[in-house]
Structure 1
Amino acid sequence: MAEPIYYVDRSDLREGKLAEVKDAMRDLTAFAEAHEPQLIAYHFFVDEAESMMTTLAVHPDSASMELHMEIGGPKFRAFGGLIRMRSIDVYGRPSPVVVDQLRQKAEMLGGGTVTIHTLQAGFNRLHRPQSTA
């Protein structure tokens, strides 16, 4: 069974760009919801100081994340003049293709780091078998 991929990125918002960032967030969220039915969760957050954006995504597997990176690429570019990518953290086992896509994304959006975290212990209840009773 494929394991979920948890994705978290953090970016600094460029001065005076909050309203544009919020518009871009809504646009990308609507696009992902319409075109990626396999995506489990996709959220954008802004900190209290309104100076940092965090993206959180949960993919059912690496193939889902690869699809997201492929079709979302043009949408990610819209953030280019609005943010400076600090970091991308991925929890799970993304394919080498996804890791390469993430490094390209980080470079395009400001040169943030990409760190892959491998699971050592745990469980999830996202894919529980359905009872037949």
Structure 2
Amino acid sequence: MSGPFIFIATNKVLDRKLEDEKNRMPGWVRYIQEREPRTIGFHEYRSADGTEVEFVQIHPDTDSFEHHLRVVAESDMSFKDTLSGTTSIRIYGQPSEAILEMLNQQAGAGVSVTILPEHFGGFTRS
């Protein structure tokens, strides 16, 4: 059974930059929303202590997520002023080799990646 492709990335927030990250997010959401019409969900959550944020994305398939990675790579919007980098990635669905290569380039080597490739069932409402 094929389900949506779900991607979760945890990122460290730079010291005293949580408010800046919160203020940066509406522009980033608009940018993604305008360029990725197939994306089902795109959200950012902060940890209780404000030291981390997680991006949660829901895509209909791997092609949609590959498109997202290309959009991010082509973007001139910078995270470097608010986030110090990705610390872990969780993937629900089977990523393509292209996805794994792009993630390695964008997140860097050494980032923990957990893949849960098989979808047993469920539903998504819109």
TM-score bucket (shorter structure)? 0.7 to 0.9
Aligned amino acid, residue 113 of structure 2:
V
Does structure 1 conserve the Cα–Cα contact (< 8 Å) formed by 2:44 and 2:54? yes
Q: Within 5 Å, which residues of 2 pair with 1:30-45?
A: 30-45=30-45
- Name the CA shift for 1:76/1:21 in 2 (closer, same or farther; >3 Å): farther
Report runs of 4+ in structure 1 exceeding 3 Å deviation.
74-77
Residue of structure 2 in register with 1:117 after alignment: 116
- Name the CA shift for 1:10/1:58 in 2 (closer, same or farther; >3 Å): same
CA distance in 1, matches of 2:2, 2:92: 13
The two structures have a TM-score, normalised by structure 1, of 0.81
Cα deviations across residues 7-36 of structure 1 (Å, max 9, x unaligned)?
A: 001111110211221233222211111111
- Name the CA shift for 1:34/1:28 in 2 (closer, same or farther; >3 Å): same
Does structure 2 conserve the Cα–Cα contact (< 8 Å) formed by 1:4 and 1:92? yes
The two structures have a TM-score, normalised by structure 2, of 0.85
Structure 1: give runs of 5+ residues left out of the alignment. Answer: 128-133
Q: Which is greater in Rg? A: 1
- Name the CA shift for 1:76/1:39 in 2 (closer, same or farther; >3 Å): farther
- Name the CA shift for 1:90/1:122 in 2 (closer, same or farther; >3 Å): same
The root-mean-square deviation of aligned C-alpha atoms, in Å, is 2.3
Count matched residues. Answer: 124
Task: Using CA pairs under 8 Å that are at least 6 residues apart, name the structure with larger relative contact order, 1 or 2.
Answer: 2
Q: CA deviation at 1:76?
A: 8.0
Name the stretch that deviates more: 94-103 or 78-87: 78-87
